[in-house]
Amino acid sequence: MIAIIDYDIGNIAAVTNMLRRIGVRCQVTSRVDDVEQAERIILPGNGSFDACMKNLRASGLIPVLEHRVLDQKVPLLGICVGAQMLGYESAEGMEPGLGWLDMRVRRFPDQPGLRVPHMGWNQVVPMSEGNYLTQDMDAETRFYFVHSYYMEPADPSAILLRSTYGIEFASGVSSGNIAGVQFHPEKSHRFGKQLLAAFAKGN
C-alpha cells in the first residue's frame, strides 16, 4: 500500500487517480497509523514552499515520516514542492525544509525570451544508471512542469534527472530510499504512469 500524505495542500486526487488507473493500491491519509503501515510513501506538494511546510508541521506527521523514511528506509517520492521540501531551504520562503537531502532550492534567473514560471512539457535526461525509477526511460521521455524554483543538490551524484530551461537544472533527485521529482507525473500521461509504476514496483 502506498500512503499519499494529506496535509491540506490540494491536488492529491490526480495522484490517486493515476495510481489507481495503473492498478496500484494507495490511500490518501493524514493518520499516523496509516503512515506506520505504509510500504511506500508519496509526499505531494502544491503552492508555495512556506505554506506546504507550515501545513506539514501542523499535521503532526513529520515525526512518523522521519521514523519511517530515515530510520526504517521506507521508499518515499516527493512531487513538485513535495520534492523541494526534502532539502534544507528554498529561496521562495523563510521556512526550513525537512533537511533529508543536502539540497537548496533556487529561483530561475531572468532569461531573455523565457518566462517564469517554467510551465509545460519538457524533456528529462536520466543521470543515474541503474536507478529503478529511470531504468525504462528513453530519449523521448517528457513530463509536465509548473514551477519557478528548482532543486540544487550539493552532491551532483544525487541528481537523478536533468532538464533544460535556459539553464540546466535537476528535475529529479535521489539518495538511497528518498527520491523527488520537480514535474507532475500525475499530469504526464504515459510517462507519468511509467514512473509511478516503477516507484510502486520498487527495486
Task: Please confirm, yes or no, whether 168 is among the known catalytic residues.
Answer: no
Q: What is the CATH number of domain 2-201?
A: 3.40.50.880
What is the tens place of the pLDDT at every residue in 104-120?
Answer: 999 999 988 899 999 99
Contacts of residue 167, Cβ cutoff 8 Å, sequence gap at least 6: 108, 109, 111
Chain-centroid distance of CA 4 in Å reads 12
pLDDT at 202: 84
- Which one is catalytic: 26, 92, 147, 184? 184
Q: What is the pTM of this model?
A: 0.96
CA dist 99 and 178 (Å) reads 12
C-alpha to C-alpha distance for 165 and 30, rounded to whole angstroms: 35
Catalytic entry in 80, 92, 118, 147: 80
CA 61 to each of CA 3, 10, 80, 152: distance values in angstroms, whole numbers, following the listed order: 12, 17, 19, 26
Gap between the Cα atoms of 158 and 21, Å rounded: 30
Spans of the chain, pLDDT less than 50: none
Q: Is 186 a catalytic residue?
A: yes
Domain chopping of the chain, boundaries? 2-201
Q: Which one from 26, 52, 147, 186 is the annotated catalytic residue?
A: 186
